[in-house]
Amino acid sequence: MADQLGRSFTEDGQLDPMRVPGLADLHRVRSRCFQAVSNRLQRILRDFPDAFQEFNVVERNGRFCLPVRTERRGMVPGLVLDRSSSGATVFVEPFEAVSLNNDHVEADREYLQAVQAFLRDLLEGLRARRFDFERWHRFQADADEGLALLRWGVLCDGALPDLGRDRLHLLEARHPLLLPNVRSALDLDPLDHDAVPLTLELDRERPGVIISGSNTGGKTVVLKTVGLLTALARSGCAIPARPGTEVPELATLHADIGDHQTLIGSLSTFSSHILHLKRIVGQARTGGLVLLDELGTGTDPKEGAALGIALLQALSRRQCWVLCSTHLGEISQWALRHPRFQNASVQFDEERLAPTYRLMVGMPGQSRALTIAAKLGLPRSILDHAEKVLGRREQDWREFLRQLEADRLRLADETQALKEAAAAVEKDRLILARREEALRLGQEKFQRESAEKVQRVLDFIDHESKRLVRELKDKHKATEPFNADRVGTDARERVKTIEQIARAELRAGAAPPRAQDVPQLREGGYARHRGLGVEGRIVSQSSDKGFWDTRDGYALQLEQIFNEPTESSTRSHLDRFWDSWQELSIHPEDMAARQAVLSRGQSLLDSVQGRYGRLSQ
């Protein structure tokens, strides 16, 4: 069906007969007939130019004719098909064009009949698939809606909030019209500052909030942001807020925002508000959201405050979510005493004398009308007189709010400092934990390597001692019976011989360099102990002994024992290893004794292997 529609119609929905089998031939015949009658009539126009009102071929009653002047009617013989309303023109079908007109009318009728038959068959096919098309139309609508929701989420960089019943919690929410991407998409001028995020939390225990504060501070924007974002969220749209935002189910949503006065309807500002409040009271349901802007304004402040408090009480009894902005201190003071309402204010920067547009929940705010008037240049004398008229009680209330704001800022700074200190402590704790874990792993690795090295030293000493005794036994077996004393004497002589050979080789070669003579070593650099394999940072040089001190205390101790610039024999290595082994047998749990056995055993192993290697060569 789609292929047939695509072939038969142009992009603008017009039937293309040349693409429809059966219509193409009829369309060509119809075109030839039209061209024939048109050419004949054009020739007559050229032959008798004075006879015609205008030089165009016209159509009357489905037949082509010429507009002939009434007074020149005799110049063009033919059938009169029509007359103009003025009578100055008659529409004549020349006799010589009648036959051609008949051919065109017949060809046109056959073509139109074929078109109607084609459209009738096509319509019957579409009607048979009507339910499929309806289902496809619904699917397209759903897909279009889903795509629109996705594009909106990308445009506002939003997230889907949690949908609940008992909490309204907005986290760093922003009004969509304040976002740069949205403003650009709507061809709105960019703002000169970033939107200040809104964070607000209401629950079933305290579902109402009274917002007060300075003029142009953003109270109305808060109401519009809450109303728009909750409506978007309940409609399945992403909203520009941080993940974790929660929006409750709303039975109704009502708002009285802005000035609705009208001259035509003879409504004042107060009257228009009252009519809206009447509608809200009549339609609000349990769980509904009500947004009230500038409650109590437009009339006497005391009466307006009393009316506003009564309205808030009624909405509270219906368990509605209520957000209300006001400049009336009586309403803010009432909210301090009511268990289901809390105060909030838009922050004001005392130093810059400008609003910050940040909502501060938990405390009422000041309208700061006099402050803003002073900033806008109202004469000082008028402001001073206004201060006197304001009264002592009102000034005390304003001073209380000012002090409350100062205390809040101080507590906020202290809280931030505590958070930063806690973060620093946590960072240090993680660093110490990582270091402790690295130390533990290093200790385990050290213990494993120590055990392996000690075992290798013991195996080597055992193997070499047995081989030495076996060689001495074989030697004496060939000459005389075995004599233990002589074997011991020969063994000692053998060790002395090994020592002499080793000393001779050491003297023959270059003398071992003293620590201070090694050019690569320097204070502050890193070095590795050649005998122990201990690495450390050099902190100083002991010029009297000729070795280096390192920052690691244990490495310092071992260097003082083993790295002195003196000649060392295999026997002295063996004696020192034996002494450390006896010390370990007395104090098996002493870590220093274990480390000494490891270090001296490694030194003995290096010495014996070096001496025996040279002896074998």
What end-to-end distance do the CA atoms of the chain give, in Å?
A: 99
- Angle between helix axes 269-283 and 301-317 (nearest 10 degrees) is 10
The CA-based dihedral angle spanning residues 513, 516, 519, 525, taken in that order and rounded to the nearest 10 degrees: 130
Q: Which residues contact 255 (CB under 8 A, 6 or more apart)?
A: 223, 227, 290, 291, 292, 293
- Angle between helix axes 380-390 and 392-477 (nearest 10 degrees) is 90
Do 113 and 96 meet the contact criterion of CB atoms below 8 Å apart? no
Segment 212-230 shows an average pLDDT of 88
pLDDT at 466: 62
Residue 241, both tokens = 């807020």
Do 66 and 96 meet the contact criterion of CB atoms below 8 Å apart? no
CATH architecture of the domain covering 2-128? Orthogonal Bundle (1.10)
DSSP 15: B
CATH superfamily of 159-367: P-loop containing nucleotide triphosphate hydrolases (3.40.50.300)
More confident residue, 372 or 612: 372
Tens-place pLDDT, residues 268-305: 677 888 888 899 999 999 999 999 998 888 888 888 89
pLDDT at 309: 93
pLDDT of residue 507 exceeding 70, the answer is no
Residue 201: strand pairing partners: 169
**Range of weakest confidence among 105-109, 361-365, 371-375, 564-568:** 564-568
Tens-place pLDDT, residues 52-64: 878 888 888 889 9
Residue 428: strand pairing partners: none
How many CA atoms are closer than 13 Å to the CA of 549, on its beta-carbon side?
A: 9
Q: In 257-310, where do the E strands start and end?
A: 289-292
Segment 368-395 shows an average pLDDT of 73
Q: How many residues does the chain have?
A: 617
pLDDT at 312: 94
More confident residue, 544 or 587: 587
What's the Cα-to-Cα distance from 338 to each of 23, 197, 222, rounded to whole Å?
A: 82, 28, 22
CB count, 10 Å around CB of 132? Answer: 11
Do 391 and 329 meet the contact criterion of CB atoms below 8 Å apart? no
**Euclidean distance between CA atoms 17 and 6, whole angstroms:** 13
Do 72 and 50 meet the contact criterion of CB atoms below 8 Å apart? yes
- Note the Cα 90 to chain centre separation in Å: 78
Of residues 175, 43, 11, 33, the one with CA closest to residue 101: 33
